[in-house]
Structure 1
Amino acid sequence: MLAAYDRQMRRNLDADGPDGPGVLIERAGGVVRRMGAAHDWNCVLWSELDESTADEAIAAQVRHFTALGVEFEWKAYSHDLPADLPARLLAAGFTPEPAETLMVAAVAELPLDTAPPEGVRLLPVTDADGVRLMVDVHEQAFGTDGTALGRQILDQLTTAPETLDAVVAMAGDVPISSARLEFRPGTDFAGLWGGGTVAEWRGRGVYRSLIAYRARIAEARGVPYLQVDASDQSRPILRRLGFAELGTTTPYIYRPPLSPGV
């Protein structure tokens, strides 16, 4: 399963795949990188390196993205080589964010009938108004600015709607949770992303209902597996639902230095 995930979702991406306007997938110097606008997710998705090539490949990506003036993420997995890749990224000036657990489940084995708690309805997100509700939830649930995320989601809904299903849980007129399901056509995996619930609604089954909602969509689309990068908070819930752990993934962020006078 891990080999299939690496092959389909990291290594063999289509260079002109439907990832949004202006997004490019490039292979250069032993890595596969995703590049978009400054507000987009710019990252190294895959690397095939060893002790003799890693440092130069890291330096090359730093030079490349710094020349573009954008920060980027090196998405490192626990099984990536060389084994000391994390230490090399740290030495090159990257900052690690909390590690997450790569988890996968067969859609056919998941509970699909979990309903939201009483008084909560699930609202599909299809336009800018829905995206604003998602951003509101994101900022409350995670305590971070959701402006760039909102632009990414709206770009994707506008240019490649077949690759994204987004949903907001509403308690009356108040958004309390949101999540999205991302598809990559031609693969066996759909990704669960952004699941977050405001503090006062946690522990009531809203998150589980959003898992079931998205699993039903994946089933209808004929996608056999769901994948998620799980936080420490969501991992126990996903494990109880039947997700298996395949390893860990850590985002290493590189922020180019500001130009003089900026």
Structure 2
Amino acid sequence: MSLLDAFHTSIRLAGREDEPAPGIVLDTDGPVRRRYPATPGSSYCMVECPEGLGADPDHWIARQVAFFSGRGEQVEWKTYSYDSPADLADRLVAAGFVAEDEETLLLGEVAGLVHDVVLPDGVALRQVSSEEDLARVDVLLRTIWGEGRDDGSLAAEVRADPDALDVVVAEESPTGPVLCAGWLRYTRGTDFASMWGGSTLPQWRRRGLYRATVAHRAALARDRGHRYVRLDTSPHSRPILERLGLRAVATTTPYVLDARSGAAAPLVTRP
């Protein structure tokens, strides 16, 4: 079995792209897997179709448009380049979804990522879990990605199940700004762990901080018995990770429908 087949079977088909989280509903609508807040508008919504959309794709797409429009929410449809139908992206755009930046799905063995990285003088890595430290991580994410990024979901995830993930920061001081942060989610009952985040302050890039957080998280995954790691990577981090031995196996593109105004684009019927 290839790495992509193993990922698809043990993660996507098993519904482990999104593990249960406080206040979040996980359900299915036919072939569509959905994640949304029990209280409308309190967190992000996401859907995907790991088994494809069958003989009438537009029917299932229209149902999601109606469902999330009725809730007045923004929803992301996470697509993979091997999803079916092959023209899924065109159908989503016709239904009012807008494509965001494409990322590359990288898979590989954690052992290849464990290596020594020399950090700049005065910088250290630390695993964090306190509310104060996670608030500092949120400041970093807001600084890099904008105010909309701070939704408190990372802290809520740590509070709900602290053994399900580890958050790693690079810092000069435990009370100063976080220079780089990333987290590692452990998918229980599988060989896979997944790395997320990896955000670095612009003035600290190209100084080994991101590579150090990757190596540290890989060692944590190895020590917990996980053989493989998964990352969705941008063009900036992909070369670093491929040099470490990870392989590009697919691309993933989010398509977003913003129904918070209560008016979504109408579905265009395709021939």
TM-score between the two structures when normalised by the length of structure 1: 0.91
Structure 2 unaligned residues grouped into runs of 5+ = 264-271
Q: Are 2:101 and 1:98 aligned?
A: yes
Supply the distance in 1 between the matched residues of 2:187 and 2:48 (Cα, whole angstroms): 14
Structure 2: which amino acid aligns with 1:8?
S
Aligned residue in 1 for 2:33: 32
Who is 2:21 aligned against?
Answer: 20
Rounded to whole Å, the distance in 2 between the matches of 1:190 and 1:51 is 30
Counterpart secondary structure, 1:186: coil
Partner in structure 1 of residue 163 of structure 2: 162
* Distance (Å, rounded) in 2 between the aligned partners of 1:77 and 1:206: 29
Please, which of 49, 55, 59 is the counterpart of residue 52 of structure 1?
Answer: 55
Deviations 1:3-26 (A, max 9, x none): 2111222221269x8531122321
Taking a change above 3 Å as real, the CA distance of residues 55 and 5 of structure 1, as seen in their structure-2 partners, is same
1:113 aligns with 2:116: yes
Q: CA separation of 1:156/1:257 partners in 2, compared to 1, >3 Å: closer, same or farther?
A: closer
Q: Is the 8 A contact 1:163 1:182 kept in 2?
A: yes
Q: Distance in 2 between matches of 1:257 and 1:121?
A: 42
- Corresponding position: 1:76 with 2:79: yes
Q: How does 1:99-248 map to 2 (within 5 A)?
A: 99-148=102-151, 151-172=152-173, 173-248=176-251
**Residues 55, 179 of structure 1: alpha-carbon distance in 2 compared, 3 angstrom cutoff:** same
Contact 1:34/1:45 (<8 A) preserved: no
Mark the runs of 5 or more structure 1 residues left unpaired by the alignment: none
Give the CA deviation at 1:144: 5.0
Residue by residue over 1:113-172, the C-alpha shift from the partner in whole angstroms, topping out at 9 and shown as x without a partner, is: 324332111232212111111111112233453221xx1111111111111111221123
State the distance in 2 between where 1:169 and 1:247 align.
Answer: 30
Aligned counterparts of 1:166 and 1:178: Cα–Cα separation in 2: 7
* 4+ residue runs over 6 A deviation: none
Q: Distance in 1 between matches of 2:85 and 2:193?
A: 28
Number of equivalences: 257
1:11 to 6, 10, 13: 13
User: In 1, distance between residues paired with 2:118 and 2:133?
Assistant: 21
Give the superposition deviation at 1:40. 2.9
Look up the SS of the partner of 1:213 in the other structure.
helix
Contact 2:32 2:53 in 1 (8 A): no
* Deviation of the 1:54 alpha carbon: 0.9
Relative to structure 1, the CA distance from residue 147 to residue 93 in structure 2 (aligned partners, 3 Å threshold; closer, same or farther) is same
Q: CA deviation at 1:42?
A: 1.7
- In 1: Cα distance, 2:127 partner to 2:25 partner: 28
Judge conservation of contact 2:74–2:258 (CA < 8 Å) in 1. Answer: yes
CA RMSD of aligned residues (A): 2.0
Matches of 1:234 and 1:14, distance apart in 2: 24
Question: How far apart are 1:48 and its partner, in Å?
Answer: 2.8
Aligned amino acid, residue 128 of structure 2: V
- SS of equivalent residue, structure 1 residue 81: coil
Amino acid at match of 1:83: A
Question: Which range is displaced more, 137-146 or 99-108?
Answer: 137-146
The Cα of 1:218 is off from its aligned counterpart by 0.3
Tell me which amino acid in the other structure corresponds to 2:179: I
Contact 1:19 1:156 in 2 (8 A): no
CA distance in 2, matches of 1:39, 1:190: 27
2:261 is matched with 258
Query: Is residue 101–residue 249 contact of structure 1 (8 Å, CA) maintained in 2?
Result: yes
